[in-house]
Amino acid sequence: MTAHRESFSVSFEFFPPKSDEMEIQLWETVEQLSGWDPDFVSVTYGAGGSTKEPTLAAVTRMIGEEKLPTAAHLTCVDASRDEIRSVIEEYRAAGVRRIVALRGDPTSGIGTAYAPHPEGFAETADLVRALVEYGDFDVSVSAYPEKHPESADLAADIDTLKRKADAGAARALSQFFFDNDIFERYLEKVRAAGIGIPVVPGIMPIQNLTQLKRFARRCGSSVPAFLDARFEGLDEKPEEREKVAADIAAEQMEDLGRRGIRDFHIYTMNRAPLVSAVLQRLGRRQISSPRIAAA
């Protein structure tokens, strides 16, 4: 893929910092990645609003000071409708007009049973509907090419996505995956179910394969054996390991491009070098003057 600004778009996901050191790292990452001219960036939101204030602070700075198109994540977990609407109003006051609407993981941990708040939204589609009623929100939702861990099967999972799309979601951002055939088959089934919104593939450049495997098991994503082979013998060779990681992500995006995909959502893990290396391999041009000054 000879990639230029008009040939494909990227968006980046960040998470709110939990320490002063992580705060510095976040803004250094944002500074470096803003030069790649993302369509938008997003900031995650902890279960039950556990990162509400850090998320709001990060989103406010990205929109107000840094002028980045920014989506704030919002979940339904452990919150009443009134509490969620209060967060929505805070977001709106900060200038947020993009929301990634999620059900959210149970506060008891991924894999445990989810129970809706008795006065809350029963599912994500209800939250999407409430956001759409405001009339000025661009709403993204999640999609799961290998199904959500709690879904009975892929068909049930796609039914859930259809309810979110029918409620007014503008696009779906997918869970990360590494087998593009899985994503293509998933997309075919999504379209066959009458879902027309864009499904943007989530790309996870591999910062640490061992940690990735643990995380993938929790969220239901498979890690193909070829990844072990690609990283074999590189445990003590960080520079070579990063080159291989960048190659893998770039190859995946290039292959998806050949299959007609033009939008990508990249999970940055608040680290810029590997993401930048991936985009460099794809020939993407940086804009001449990054919009963000480091903290």
For residue range 127-154, list pLDDT tens digits in order: 999 999 999 999 999 999 999 988 899 9
Question: The CATH number of the domain where 13 resides is what?
Answer: 3.20.20.220
28 catalytic, yes or no?
A: no
pLDDT, residue 110, reads: 55
The DSSP element (H or E) to which 23 belongs, if any, is helix 20-34
- Look at residue 30 and give its three-state secondary structure: helix
In a domain, 4, yes or no: no
Q: What residues make up the domain containing 53?
A: 9-281
Largest CA distance in the chain: 54
Q: CA 137 from chain center: how many Å?
A: 18
Share of the chain above pLDDT 90, in %: 76
Q: Which of 6, 13, 28, 133 is catalytic?
A: 13
In a domain, 259, yes or no: yes
**What is the arithmetic mean of pLDDT over 17-21?**
92
Q: Is residue 117 over pLDDT 90?
A: no
In a domain, 156, yes or no: yes
Q: Is residue 38 over pLDDT 60?
A: yes
Q: Put residue 194 in one of left, alpha, beta given phi > 0 → left and psi -120 to 50 → alpha.
A: left
Q: Are strands 263-267 and 98-102 parallel, antiparallel or unpaired?
A: unpaired
C-alpha span between 138 and 173 (Å, rounded): 13
Q: Are strands 171-176 and 263-267 parallel, antiparallel or unpaired?
A: unpaired
**What is the arithmetic mean of pLDDT over 168-192?**
98
For residue range 48-100, list pLDDT tens digits in order: 556 688 899 999 999 988 899 999 999 887 788 999 999 999 999 999 999 99
Residue found by looking up tokens 């879902």 in the block: 195
- For the chain, the domain total comes to 1
In a domain, 289, yes or no: no
